[in-house]
Amino acid sequence: MNFDDEFIGNAEMSVIGAIILDETSLAKVIDKIEPADFHYPELREIYGSILNLSSAGKPIDYVTVVDGIRGDKNFGEGFNKNDLQKILIRCCETTPSLRNVEYYADIVHKSAVSGKIRTALSNALLSDIDSENVEQQGEKLIGILSQIILPIQNKKMQNLNDISENLINYYSGKIEKIENRCDTGYPKIDNFLKGMSGGNLIILASRPKVGKTAFALSIAQNVSETGKKVVFYSQEMLKEELCERILSKKSGISMNKLIDNSLNETDIENLKNTVQEQKNNIIVNDSAGITVQNIRLNCRMIKDLGLIIIDYLQLMKSTSRHETRNQEIGAISRELKKLATDLNVPILCLSQLNRVSNENTRPTSSELRDSGELEQNCNKLMLMWCVKKHENFKTVGVDVALNRRGGTGATLLDFSGENMNFTELNEEYKENNESNSDWRSKIYKKTL
């Protein structure tokens, strides 16, 4: 390839090269540049093909990009596909550093903006401007330049009256929704939460072995049954183990039978019917050490995405260096909050609580592990703890301890580990109920 501007050409090639060498680089630049920002047609087409691979959920590397472009019937005319491999190899060889891919993308974007400004100014100079239309032409030019230069953040600026009118149309039923919202599927908890909405970071925290993964998986099932997709990032359990839990709950077959593979023909038939009946709206990723950028890359192109669940926060990694683990966890939570806003999707992130001498005591937000920023950065905080263990199940409490849009309060659920099932109880949690030897049967009745 021959460049009329070698500096811009190298920047564009470095962006392509960085993505091919490490596909996670795409997450760093995908919000900064689009195919139209590329000056050179060959590189513009290649970047567009990379976005298509990402949208289809396919891996991105040298081989897949070559194969994807060769199989693209709509690929740009006049582009010599025989030179494709040479261009891609040159892109990889030209890339000085993967760390600086965002800087290269900024160069590409600013170059595209400067080109649009030059074109606008050239067109203005060619226009007939005289004393009669000077103000009209000046306003037209300012309008064009504003559209070019206006930052992405400012595009979301909206008059309060317009926002109010939109809300009134929603309240009166003229429009179906104004937000990407989903519920947990547990009425008393949802009455406190008032929904998990796009842009929300919701923290679900408990001490180990209480059942937060099982509870999060139940929420995932309930959301998926509304027709929305749920992406579940499991860094502690394999995807097969999560699937076992779902099958146990939906089929009624005990976890022990599934784990031991001691199923009879009736059980097998039951499982087959369960799989056929369930909606395949839960997507599981059990990669270890996931980053926020990985999640952004995975989820950006998923249609009808209703919820992202991360199990759990303390197992995540940051792409930046931090002096302490507390600072790193705080930074990750801030990045997750920004991601929830950028994708307009609620993120339910599980977190550990510090251990205490009495594991059955009701926790407080001060027990959140590794960072005091979690409470500050989240929109909603749910604390989960074991209230009482019974012979075949246990009663757990769920406390909506922080809610920036809704109420707070605690309620109880019975959890059967035999088939991973939660049953919400009618009454709210009341302090010191353990003093009554028969507290559960007398005060609480199961939801019908």
Overall average pLDDT of the 128-151 stretch:
60
CA atoms 334, 336, 337, 338: torsion sign: positive
Q: What is the mean pLDDT of the chain?
A: 79
Instruction: Give mean pLDDT, residues 350-360.
Output: 77
CA distance 184 to 11: 46
Mean local confidence (pLDDT), 183-201: 90
Write the pLDDT tens digit of every residue in 52-84.
888 777 888 888 888 877 766 555 555 566 677
pLDDT > 60? residue 319: yes
| Chain segment 95-112, per-residue pLDDT in tens | 888 888 888 998 988 888
Average of per-residue pLDDT across 273-293: 81
pLDDT tens, 362-419?
888 877 776 677 878 888 999 998 888 887 888 888 999 889 888 888 889 888 888 8
pLDDT tens, residue by residue, 157-190: 666 777 777 777 767 776 666 678 889 999 999 9
Residue of 282 and 369 predicted with greater confidence: 282
Q: What is the mean pLDDT of residues 123-138?
A: 63
Separation of alpha carbons 30 and 14, rounded Å: 14
* pLDDT value, residue 310: 92
| pLDDT at residue number 149 | 55
- Percent of the chain clearing pLDDT 90 (strictly above): 10
Sign of the dihedral defined by the CA atoms of residues 433, 435, 440, 443, in that order? negative
Is pLDDT at 338 greater than 50 in this prediction? yes
With cut-offs at 50, 70 and 90, classify the pLDDT of residue 441: very low
Q: Are 424 and 187 in contact (CB under 8 A)?
A: yes
Q: Which of 87, 55, 52, 101 is nearest to 72 (CA)?
A: 52
Q: How many whole angstroms separate alpha carbon 374 and alpha carbon 382?
A: 12
